[in-house]
Amino acid sequence: MSAVIIDGYTVAATVRAQVAKSVSALVGQGITPCLSVVLVGEDPASVSYVSGKEKALREVGMKDASYRLPATTTEEELITLIHRLNADTTVHGILVQLPLPRHINEARVIMAINPEKDVDGFHPVNIGNMVIERPCFLPCTPHGVMYLLKNAGIETRGAHAVVVGRSNIVGKPLSILLARKDSNATVSVCHTGTRDLASITRQADILIAAAGKPRMISADMIKPGAAVIDVGVNRVEDDSSPKGYRLVGDVDFDAALEVASFITPVPRGVGPMTIAMLMENTLLSAERVARSS
């Protein structure tokens, strides 16, 4: 058996095309959706993620009000900028690229963002609304994973979903989305305190790997016929690549292909969906403003 490869790149392109259409309708009404991505410092992975977001903004016709600040920026300076963006009625979304330099308290910075502009869905107000199933901005990567599952026709209702990882931005929100009534999966959440991880992953009808450990999910950890979603993005050394590294997921892709029913590749799997969902959230924010004006 060889699994169906879920082409996140193509699904994301379709989402972006739909967003672009709605953006052009809003522009016709005099509102150009605008996102401000704030990057502090020059962490190479963050610079690359931010460039991807800026490229997507241009592609869908949104305004880009991004800031690239030096690593020496203080927490106070960053929060002052956020307050300014909160007050700017032409800005519909604010995203602060994480991780921030160590001298800045991430939680305080996220709390400073107006929840109505928190298109990353990380503010406690949005997380709380997600938990109690009220309208909110859903965090982009978990939302992208849910979109891919639905788009591929993978049934979550009644399925046993196992999420490896419990971070605030991926594992935890994803486990909540899977367990909500609208998904109705039975969810197990695994982490470094989990005993005998393989015995749990082998029970998964849907296995989500979000641990950030290259190829840690081997074929023998996967139940035959399971749907495997690989969120991990890890750089591993590769002398044959001009960059000296290449990207791999948390799943041993080639081996898993022979066991799973569906699998996402890395790259071109979950990653492009994260950006597509960010565009969608920014559009939703601008549409809300358009409705209330």
How far apart CA 151 and CA 145 sit, in angstroms, is 10
Q: Does 138 bind ligand NDP (CB under 6 A)?
A: no
Helix, strand, coil abundance in the chain, percent, nearest 5: 45, 15, 40
Q: Does 202 bind ligand NDP (CB under 6 A)?
A: no
Beta bridge pairs of residue 259: none
Residue 169 or 279 having the CB closest to ligand NDP: 169
Q: Determine the residue type at 213.
A: K
Q: Does 231 bind ligand NDP (CB under 6 A)?
A: yes
- Residue 91 structure tokens: 């800005």
Among positions 85, 119, 127, 211, the unique one binding ligand NDP when judged by CB under 6 A: 211
Helix (H, G, I), strand (E, B) or coil at 1: coil
Q: Does 166 bind ligand NDP (CB under 6 A)?
A: yes
Q: Whole-number minimum distance, CB 178 to ligand NDP, in Å?
A: 15
Helix (H), strand (E) at residue 12 = helix 8-28
Among candidate residues 103, 90, 157, 146, the one with its CA nearest the CA of residue 121: 146
How far apart CA 94 and CA 77 sit, in angstroms, is 16
How far apart CA 132 and CA 159 sit, in angstroms, is 21
Helix (H, G, I), strand (E, B) or coil at 35: strand
Q: Does 170 bind ligand NDP (CB under 6 A)?
A: yes
The footprint of ligand NDP on this chain (CB under 6 A) covers a number of residues equal to 26
Mask for 241-270, x = binds ligand NDP (CB under 6 A): -----------------------------x
Q: Does 212 bind ligand NDP (CB under 6 A)?
A: yes
Residue 183 or 201 having the CB closest to ligand NDP: 201
Question: In which residue are the tokens 């522009």 written?
Answer: 27
Among candidate residues 198, 132, 213, the one with its CA nearest the CA of residue 162: 198
Among positions 32, 90, 114, 194, the unique one binding ligand NDP when judged by CB under 6 A: 194
Question: In which residue are the tokens 């840690």 written?
Answer: 216
Among positions 162, 178, 190, 284, the unique one binding ligand NDP when judged by CB under 6 A: 190
Residue 26 or 204 having the CB closest to ligand NDP: 204
Q: Whole-number minimum distance, CB 59 to ligand NDP, in Å?
A: 17
- Neighbour tally for 145: CB within 10 Å: 29
How far apart CA 91 and CA 114 sit, in angstroms, is 11
How far apart CA 187 and CA 89 sit, in angstroms, is 40
Q: Whole-number minimum distance, CB 204 to ligand NDP, in Å?
A: 13
Find the part of the chain contacting ligand NDP (CB under 6 A) among 10-18, 80-88, 114-122, 169-177.
Answer: 169-177
Find the part of the chain contacting ligand NDP (CB under 6 A) among 33-41, 114-122, 128-136, 232-240.
Answer: 232-240
**Active centre residues (catalytic):** 53, 97, 120
Find the part of the chain contacting ligand NDP (CB under 6 A) among 72-80, 86-94, 191-199, 217-225.
Answer: 191-199
Helix (H), strand (E) at residue 263 = strand 262-263
Contact residues: ligand NDP, CB under 6 A:
141, 164-167, 169-171, 190-194, 197, 210-213, 216, 231-234, 270-271, 274
